[in-house]
Structure 1
Amino acid sequence: MPQEFEIVREFEVDVPPEKVWDAVTTGSGGYLWPMDPPEPREGGRGPFGSTVTAWDPPHRYTSRSEDVGSPTQSLNQLDYTIESRDEGRRAWVRYVHSGIFTDDWNNQYDGASKHTNFYLHTLCEYLTHFAPRPVAFAQLNGPAASATPRALAAAARALGLPDDAAAGTKATVRGPGGRTLDAVLDYRNPYFIGLRTDHALVRFFGRGHWGAPLGISVHDFAPDADADANGAAWQDWLNDVFGRP
């Protein structure tokens, strides 16, 4: 049965409002994934066929999709309100994700809500450490064997993360090909793991909790970054952990 939903988050970040605006409207893939930037006007075309319903730089941006093309969702709206703090040195952001789920409401809402927390955290990491550097973006999924709630814990063991390693601590992890990566464990809970190196954000999505394979995204800001090579390397890593498809 179709039912409306609304996910609301508020946060502050130590960058000017203009920097937040650029991050959420350029579609660079710096913190989420590459997408077409919106036409800079109310009524313009937004990403994935959406319509821009509010455009007030650098304060308000809203996009609305009424033909989502999903079997579980018929309406999707993303709204950003950005205000200045500390004479423009900081920004306050109110983010609202709303719409209509047409099926499996509780599971869809739970997944969207938890993903929202991780995506907005990644936005702050990007703004604080990497923006506006160009990004090479890769996104990949594990084999079917990783579609289980236990998959993220298995990935953590393969990385060499101790069970008690908490967000905010430094970590030396085992990446693709056994290569050692020095990183900050910037996010960790039973659903997601975030690693930040000197030049990249590597994100692990434990989507087995919602019936999907474990996912990885790599946002690489190194001058010589190769998205295809990153994707292939981490795909091999996933296949080694969970078995070849």
Structure 2
Amino acid sequence: MSKEFEIAREFEVDATPEQMWEAITTGTGGWLWPMEFEPRQGGTGPFGSTLTNWDPPHRLTSLVEDVEGISQQTLNQIDETIEPRDDGRRSWVRYVHSGIFVEDWDNQYDGASKHTDFYLHTLRQYVTHFAGRPVAFATFDGPGASTAADAFAAVGRALGLADDTAEGARVQARGPEGQLLDAVVDYRNPYFIGLRTDNALIRFFGRNHWGAPVGMSVHDFASDADAKHNETAWKGWLNETFAA
């Protein structure tokens, strides 16, 4: 049954409105995936959307109907409002994702809501620690075995995190081929893990909770970053983690 949804979040961040606007609209893959915007009201945005508001650096709204490739949605709108705080040195942001889910409403809403919190946290990490730096972006899924109900717990164990390793902890995480990564656990709950190193944001998505494989994204800001190498290395890590 079709049903409307709305996911609204507000936050303040130590970045100017101009910095926030650039982070949201340049679409380099610094915090989400690469996106392209035609910079004008009525222009095109990601996923074939139309920009119904384009008012830099204050308001951005994108709207798409009959969402291609996403059978659970027939309407999708993202509205972002940015206001200055502290004489423009900081920003207040209101993010509203709304639309219509046409099937499996509770599961779709739960997944979208929890992903929103993680994505917006990653945005704040990006503007605080890496804004404006060139990035090599890669995203990919784990093998079929990572759809199991308890799969995401295996990710924490493979990284060498204890069950009680909390957000803010500094760790030496085990990466591909046993490489030790000096990192901060910048986000952790039963659904997601975020690691921040001096040169990267490494994100783990427990999408098995919603019937999909565990996912990853690597936002690498090192001067010699290689997106394909990161994908190959971390895919191998995921495959090994979920090997029978």
TM-score, length of structure 1 as denominator length: 0.98
Inter-partner Cα distance in structure 2 for 1:18 and 1:115: 25
Using the aligned pairs only, state the percent identity. Answer: 68
Inter-partner Cα distance in structure 1 for 2:98 and 2:47: 16
**Could you tell me whether the CA contact under 8 Å between 1:149 and 1:207 is conserved in 2?**
no
Q: Partner of 1:40 in structure 2?
A: 39
**Gaps in structure 2 of 5+ consecutive residues:** none
SS of the residue aligned with 2:231? helix
Could you list the per-position Cα deviations for residues 182-229 of structure 1 after superposition, in whole angstroms to 9, with x for gaps in the alignment?
000000000000000000000000000000000010000011100000
Inter-partner Cα distance in structure 1 for 2:151 and 2:215: 10
The CA RMSD over aligned residues, in Å, is 0.8
**Could you tell me whether the CA contact under 8 Å between 1:78 and 1:97 is conserved in 2?**
yes
Tell me, yes or no, if structure 1 residue 5 matches structure 2 residue 17: no
Inter-partner Cα distance in structure 2 for 1:156 and 1:43: 44
Inter-partner Cα distance in structure 2 for 1:29 and 1:106: 29
Inter-partner Cα distance in structure 2 for 1:200 and 1:239: 21
Q: Which runs of 4+ in 1 moved over 3 A?
A: none
Q: Partner of 2:229 in structure 1?
A: 229
**Could you tell me whether the CA contact under 8 Å between 1:4 and 1:99 is conserved in 2?**
yes
Q: Partner of 1:143 in structure 2?
A: 143
Inter-partner Cα distance in structure 1 for 2:208 and 2:66: 27
Q: Partner of 1:193 in structure 2?
A: 193
Q: Partner of 1:56 in structure 2?
A: 55
**Could you tell me whether the CA contact under 8 Å between 1:138 and 1:228 is conserved in 2?**
yes
**Could you tell me whether the CA contact under 8 Å between 2:15 and 2:127 is conserved in 1?**
yes
Structure 2 matches for 1:84-233, cutoff 5 A? 84-233=84-233
SS of the residue aligned with 2:82? strand
**Gaps in structure 1 of 5+ consecutive residues:** none
Inter-partner Cα distance in structure 1 for 2:186 and 2:171: 10
Inter-partner Cα distance in structure 1 for 2:148 and 2:5: 26
Inter-partner Cα distance in structure 2 for 1:198 and 1:150: 31
**Could you tell me whether the CA contact under 8 Å between 1:149 and 1:206 is conserved in 2?**
no
SS of the residue aligned with 1:91? strand
Inter-partner Cα distance in structure 1 for 2:201 and 2:80: 23
